[in-house]
Amino acid sequence: MRVKQVLVVVTVTVLGVVLAGNFAGAQGAEGSAVILGTVASDPGTTASVPFYYSRGSGPSLRSLRLHVDFVSNSVKFAKADKGMAAETQDYDLAVEMEDLPANERDLPRTRLKVAVTLLDATTSIPEGLLAFLNFRIAPESKPFTILLQPADAEAQDTSQKPAPLAVEPGKVIIAGPDEPMPGCFIYTH
């Protein structure tokens, strides 16, 4: 169990560094970006994937909507919770789930329809952690990585005009059984 705790700490630290770089890469010339995080979780647990928003150099947004597709044979969407950004500006968070046809390998797929809209039309969506998308990992799951692939995204600025929005995909990594990490002197001594 110690190896997984260390792996989680390293993953969270690396995720913070990667997200800082991804905001710059995902924003492109227009600026606004949504980034879905990458989370490792064990079979039989829940994975909480962070959903970040950065305005960058883009216009202030009044609403954003995106569709996220994923293979759902081992991972099932459970619920969404508002993130820390709701403490600075409240917003409405809605997530709907839709079953999609199986992929070419006959694996079931699901689409999440995520919408963030303002309750107060005179303000803009706050930057930061907008939500956690919670997924249940089946107890019998084998080690695997599930890609949370954006299929469609749209946004409206505060004047209700379409605004550009870049989206960076996320991942749910289903961890394997505890195994020693050979070659890591610091954690083995």
Position 22 pLDDT exceeds 50: no
Task: Give the model's pLDDT for residue 1.
Answer: 44
- For 38, 125, 137, 180, the CA distances from 34, given in Å and listed in that order, are 13, 12, 24, 36
Lowest mean pLDDT among 27-31, 66-70, 175-179: 27-31
Architecture of the domain whose range is 2-177: Sandwich (2.60)
Is the pLDDT at 184 greater than 90, yes or no?
Answer: no
**In the chain, where are the structural domains located?**
2-177
Say how far apart CA 44 and CA 173 lie, in whole Å.
13
The whole-number pLDDT of residue 3 equals 42
Percent above pLDDT 90 for the chain: 68
- Band of pLDDT at residue 176, cut at 50, 70 and 90: confident
Measured distance CA(54)–CA(125) in Å, rounded: 9
Going by pLDDT thresholds of 50, 70 and 90, the confidence category of residue 177 is low
pLDDT exceeds cutoff 80 at 18: no
